[in-house]
Amino acid sequence: MTPATTPDQLPALEALPDLPRDDDGPVFREPWEASAFAITLELHAAGHFTWDEWATTLSQQISAAQAAGDPDLGNTYYRHWLAALESLVTTKALATPEALDLRAQDWVRAYRSTPHGHPVKLKTG
């Protein structure tokens, strides 16, 4: 299966004015940020939401955080990104908030029961 998002089919990143980027494109501070970015691109490419919907959800999230006192120095950008993505995923009924919480807890248990260096495998339930 080829990826739905190819380099020349990047959605309109300029619709996201605060996106941390340099001349060559987006930049990330931590690997999870790149993963959150990739999930968003893939869900969009698969037609689960339009890029306008995404940009709106993200900017609402950022405005809400700013209203709550976030200094918005760029280092929290992907926190807002992830919160917006979770919100859109649940609004679109792709997953429930409860399922996301449970799954995160499952991962914590999986990490804590795996010796370091071994692949961490998910044990759900």
Partner 1 sequence: MAHDHHGDEMTEPPSEMALRVQALESLLVEKGLVDPKALDVIVDRYENRVGPRNGAHVVARAWTDPDYLERLRADATAAIAELDYTGRQGEHMVVVENGPKLHNLVVCTLCSCYPWPVLGLPPAWYKSSPYRSRAVIDPRGVLAEFGTMLDEDVEVKVWDSTSEVRFLVLPERPEGTEGWTIEQLIPLVSRNSMIGVEKARPATGAAA
Applying CB under 8 A, which residues contact partner 1?
A: 1-5, 7, 24-32, 34-39, 41-43, 46, 48, 78-79, 82, 85-86, 89, 94-95, 99-101, 103-104, 106-108, 111-120, 122
Question: In the bound complex, what is the minimum distance in angstroms from residue 55's beta carbon to partner 1?
Answer: 18
- Residue 62's Cβ-count burial label (10 Å; 0-12, 13-18, 19+) is buried
Question: In the bound complex, what is the minimum distance in angstroms from residue 103's beta carbon to partner 1?
Answer: 4
Q: Helix, strand or coil for residue 69?
A: coil
Q: Which is nearer to partner 1, 15 or 34 (CB)?
A: 34
CB 84 within 8 A of CB 58: yes
Q: Which residues, including other chains, have CB under 8 Å from residue 3's CB and lie 6 or more apart?
A: 42, 45
Question: In the bound complex, what is the minimum distance in angstroms from residue 119's beta carbon to partner 1?
Answer: 7
In angstroms, rounded to a whole number, what is the distance separating the alpha carbons of residues 59 and 2? 30
Q: Which is nearer to partner 1, 67 or 108 (CB)?
A: 108
